Structure 1
Amino acid sequence: MPPQRDAGQLDLRGHPGFLDAHVPTNGIGTHTMRALLDSARVVPPGELHCSQWIEEPTLLVTRFEYANLFHTITDWYSAYVSSRVTNLPDRPNVVFVDGHCKAPLEQTWEALFSNVTYAKSFSGPVCFRHAVLSPLGYETALFKGLSESFSCEGASAQSLRNKPDHQKTARLSEFGEMIIASFDLLEDGIVPPKKTSNGLKILFVRREDYLAHPRHSGKVESRLSNEQEVFDAVEKWAKGQKCKINVVNGLFAHMSMKEQLQAILEASVIIGAHGAGLTHLVSATPDTKVLEIISSFYRRPHFGLISHWKSLEYHAINLPGSYASIPDVTNELGNILKGLGC
């Protein structure tokens, strides 16, 4: 916060108007850091007593969802952008100030950032030399763009350095490369080229019904009621094509994060029903083609927009329900493969 003549003016308690303007209390914009901000105050000299000082720059993060991949990636992206715009080190420290439990996706937090700590594990007052409040994943451009219209196309960082264009962005691609690099999947500092000598790879991202976290009370619904039938048909169809095609069974729930990312990098085509697994498109290479199968019960723009912001070729099949026509799927795949010279 900017310095004021009267230090007491920095006390946010009793100034709900300020918080209401910047951290709204209602709807999806509810910011769970509001109470933390509301408690901020200036401490006069001599009254600051800390059991521990943390000297390194630190991101204070509230995880909005801690088990769902899509929502967790919006949190990763929020933390990444916060570190970029505030010029923090490439891999700053992270402190979780939420009350969520530890989840399997926390391994990726630990891969992306230098150190991950829970605020609830501190035994006494802790002071930070340089702390940055990272906004909720729902408050960053990655999520805002899903509900607010703005024109922003994907481009490479190199192309924008050579020819700046404020209608294009390389931020999401840079974020994807950061994830890849965190799992040692770069070769000589660059994304390795796809190996096509053994044929093209079609990655079928499978969706398994699940509850996002133990407190989830919603109804679990299938986004593609005949998914196994579609997968089996795509495998059979691929064997009859003139070029060699390998169909990869993307059961991400049973794969490590590194295995998931490796499958994304090697795929020439990524196909799947609308679901969190497709959020890995943020790490896909620019030449990747995308085919999303969308149930009429759950139409969302998430992965079409992410593809747009990544400059990926995107195709969609909008279903009249949750059942997909096999010929519709294979015909669309055939058109996509024509563009790959197959």
Structure 2
Amino acid sequence: TTESDPGPAAGGPAPAPAFLGDTMRRYLAALLTAATVLTASCAQALPSDTTTPDGAALRLPLDDYQHSPTQALTVTNAYRVLLIRCARRHGRTLPITSSPRPLVGPRTWMERRYGLTDAADAASYGYGLGPRDPARHPPETPDLDPATIAVITGTGDKAPPGGCQEQTRKALAMAPAGADPSLPQHLSMLSFQRSRTDHRVQTAVKEWSACMRAAGHSYANPFDPIADPAFRDGTSEKELATARTDLACKKRTNLVGVWLSVESAYQRRMIAQNATALQEAKRANQTILRLAQAALDAEMRAPASTSGGSPAN
């Protein structure tokens, strides 16, 4: 098996995560960025198997180097806990809770990477995510007074250097000098964009689209039905029927198998080209996760009177 030049990238920006609402995001733009950071073409034959793998079971080579969504949530929850503690040490009480937030969105990075792939979810929720639907978990939108903002951002005379956001970031970012924990995420986004423009994937997508069209559904790619405004609550029979047809067409065309094989080849090439940096990123992410879990464990052991948050005076 030999790998050829995967060609030019068609990269795009990563979606910005939501956290504590517009007011908090205005003053703490780096908050979730910090928490998240703490968090090729191939000549081989494509698989002939026409089964559609369970989306929750799919894996790509770069998954071994980055936090899973569940692990990223652990880091985010720890960030919240440490931020609340820091603000309290400086006389401010953040109007957010230290209680762990639930997992919202896909359970793995692969679950919706190639469109709908989970048969059980499709049968119950169509294109929705059921209990993990972000619409069911609105972000907190606290109003922060100037004194609290100063402590968090480090802009006040009595604020800690860099503010609590910087102190919290450092508490979870004990990585080796020069290590970039976000490198696996960056390469993963790049491999997705490259694989999406690969002629083999485009051929499989066209075959899937033709299969859907034969069943009365006009979608150019497997992401279109997910974004279809006709599907909102995940319970209509039309949506459930479309989701079943979608999965049947993926099985018939082997779209998921083709895409997974192609993108895996791109990622293996990237890993070979960035071996040292990725190993450093992996170790850094392991350290970040360990520190985050330790922070959450300490919060669980803390007396009830010292945990949580309430509106600042």
TM-score strictly above 0.5: no
Higher relative contact order (CA 8 A, sep 6+): 2
- Specify which structure has the higher proportion of helix: 2
- Specify which structure has the higher proportion of strand: 1
Q: Give the TM-score normalised by the residue count of structure 2.
A: 0.22
Q: Give the TM-score normalised by the residue count of structure 1.
A: 0.21
